[in-house]
Amino acid sequence: MATPSDEMNTKLSWRRFDDGKNTWDSWTDKIFNEDTSHKCPTYIHKTPPCQGSCPSGEDIRGWLAIVRGQEKPAGDMAWQEYAFRRSTDANPFPSMMGRVCPAPCQDGCNRNEVEDFVGINSVEQFIGDTALANGYTFAAGESTGKKVAIIGGGPAGMAAAYQLRRKGHAVTVFEALSDLGGMMRFGIPNYRIPRDKLAAEIQRIIDMGDVEVKLNTRVGTDVTVEELEKSHDAILWTIGCWTGRGLPVDGWDDAPNCVSGVAFLKAFNEGRMKVTAKKVVCIGGGDTSIDVVSVARRLGNIESTNPTDRPELVVNDGFVAQDTAITAAAQGSDVTLTSLFPKENMTAAEHEVHDALHEGVTIIDEVMPVGLVIGEDGRATGLKIAKCTLEGGRPTPIEGTEQVIEADLIVSAIGQGGDMAGLEDFANERNLIDADAFYQVPGKQGHFVAGDIIRPHLLTTAIGQASIAADSIDEFLKGSEHKKRPKVDVHHFDLEAKLHEAGLDPEHFDANAGDQRGTSFSKYAVHNYEDRSFQEIIPHDELFLGHFAYHERNKRREEVPSAEEVLGHFHERLICLEEEAAVDEAKRCMSCGMCFECDNCVIFCPQDAVYRVKKDEATTGRYVDTDYARCIGCHICSDVCPTGYIKMGLGE
């Protein structure tokens, strides 16, 4: 029976041949021309593009393999805990990152060449939420007697505290705000990051012991740098960027109802701002601007002539709070977002833009702000915008396209900067802190830096930088030279560590045992394995994509309110996958660059040269081997390897 055309068009998988390519290559010639080849298969480990695209450098392929049931834990550890351990080797916040990370890993996923990316974020959320439900904890390393001061308790600071405690160093976290979490707590709304789960992931780090926390303590004001240098062996700066950039238009600095996106979200997340203005206009296009307009739609406004109820007073004064009782009279706000770029090119995640539109936000794209309309009381009453063109990355207004958007509150979400008051000796010309390749502060021995204060970017970027900085601090405290960072600088699968975990360590090499060259049977080494993961990311054209059938993505359920439902709607958006769906989603991973035990090479080898390793000697990365006395170099095994793990090169 013929396949219906609509199914063919909606359930496409990879195609080896393009339309019009109808001449078969001669496999017979290919095989028999190669029977004298000296090239035989070797097993090459490369980094998958998901991991190469992850700023935290997580071993994504590894924990997906654990969830799917392919890689087994040693001993009696549950696979759920094993997946958690592998995931948090790089990132101690799987529950948070599974919710809010914009997932560059999914953009890079090779499965996009088949039908759709693997839902990496959704499986990570499952791992993180399961770990919290089961009470999994972290273990600290043996104490070194060293102590590190961490300035800032956000994602970079707490990730660094975690990595340093694993290495045995004690830490003191100095946080200027009232609680830990940084942008995760004060910059992202609670319907995206549940506060109970955030608190639990932070507490898990503190529970490692020797993590002292000093809240409401600003270094440079409440305590001096010199004092920290005397009491600690190293200092890590992770102070983030808490000043928002204003619009470059006349009158911005003087109009009280013109505020930054960072300050707006901080006032909301601190619980001080209960309602906003009737007409809110936000300028941006990134994730921060989406959070601003989504929060504004949820808060709504109240009809009031009392100036103390105005939201800008709450935003601009960190000690002012609105009365909770006023929310009972809240009505919906008119909220507009303007962007330089078309909707499809906005830097915010595509689904976040879609959600904002669904919630009733008006988005005006391909426009730029050109001025303000100022009322007699000095407050802005409107934003002047114009259609624009982008020339060399700079917007230019198109004459005759000007218009005014009425506004009671105007929010600028066009960028962030550092607050270096009291720390001027560390500030560069951009009011940020410089870093070298090892995340040291140049010219400041014993000082290191990570996170937004280097350059504002993603939460996952800050976490990845913190991990590298922790390595550098560890080397500094040991008095050793910094190791050169690899080209692909992520948390790699380690075959030697896996063999040790499985009790399969290679035997001792006896240098006096005579000539031992040319053997593939001796047990003192892994003979036919090459680790190129530190240098190479495997592209889709090195895989046999024809192996993978259509497999629809398991999507998380989302609770996105409509424009009519959004007022007062602060329920969590992303609903965690059930275990069965998470396991099925993990099975969609193509395990790029690593064997996932499909048996294709064993089945298709015409010489029976490729064989499974004995069960009591096998583990991840050591599932198959080759009898080189049988191999004729036909490279069929390489052709049919779905993951690109087999290369024809041994003997060169």
Return the axis-axis angle of helices 60-68 and 579-586, rounded to nearest 10°. Answer: 120
Residues 34, 633 contacting (CB under 8 angstroms): yes
How far from 235 is each of 74, 174, 426, 648, CA to CA, in Å? 37, 11, 12, 49
Lowest-confidence range among 2-6, 221-225, 589-593, 621-625?
2-6
Coil, strand or helix at 106: helix
pLDDT tens across 369-405, in order? Answer: 999 999 999 999 999 999 999 888 789 999 999 999 9
How many other CB atoms are found less than 10 A from the CB of residue 279?
19
CATH class of 244-416: alpha beta
pLDDT tens across 74-85, in order? Answer: 889 999 999 999
Residues 459, 54 contacting (CB under 8 angstroms): no
Q: Mean pLDDT throughout 116-130?
A: 98
What is the C-alpha separation between 438 and 54, in angstroms, rounded?
18
Q: Mean pLDDT throughout 489-518?
A: 87
Q: Mean pLDDT throughout 361-367?
A: 97
Q: Mean pLDDT throughout 177-202?
A: 97
What is the C-alpha separation between 385 and 368, in angstroms, rounded?
5
Contacts 24+ apart (CB under 8 A), 203-209: 204/92, 204/136, 204/137, 204/138, 205/92, 205/138, 205/158, 205/161, 205/162, 205/165, 207/137, 207/138, 208/138, 208/139, 208/140, 208/162, 208/165, 209/140, 209/165
Binning pLDDT at 50, 70 and 90, where does residue 339 land? very high
Provide the CATH number for the domain formed by 140-242+418-478 in this structure: 3.50.50.60
Question: Taking all residues of the chain, what is their mean pLDDT, rounded to a whole number?
Answer: 92
Is the pTM higher than 0.85? The answer reads yes
Beta carbons within 8 Å of 218's beta carbon, 6+ residues apart: 174, 176, 422
Q: Where are the alpha helices (DSSP H) in 69-116?
A: 79-87, 94-100, 104-108
What is the C-alpha separation between 384 and 387, in angstroms, rounded?
11
pLDDT value at residue 508: 86
What is the C-alpha separation between 614 and 616, in angstroms, rounded?
6
pLDDT value at residue 1: 40
pLDDT value at residue 120: 98
What is the C-alpha separation between 146 and 63, in angstroms, rounded?
32
Share of the chain above pLDDT 90, in %: 82
What is the C-alpha separation between 16 and 188, in angstroms, rounded?
44
Q: What is the DSSP letter of 282?
A: E
pLDDT value at residue 24: 55
Coil, strand or helix at 537: strand
pLDDT tens across 44-101, in order? Answer: 999 999 999 999 999 999 999 999 999 999 889 999 999 999 999 999 999 999 999 9
Residue intervals of the chain classified under CATH 3.50.50.60 are: 140-242+418-478, 244-416
pLDDT tens across 415-466, in order? Answer: 999 999 999 999 999 999 999 999 999 999 999 999 999 999 999 999 999 9
Return the axis-axis angle of helices 120-134 and 60-68, rounded to nearest 10°. Answer: 70
The DSSP-derived string for 29-52 is HHHHHSTT---EEEEEE-B-HHHH
Coil, strand or helix at 427: coil
What is the C-alpha separation between 604 and 597, in angstroms, rounded?
14
Q: What is the DSSP letter of 438?
A: T
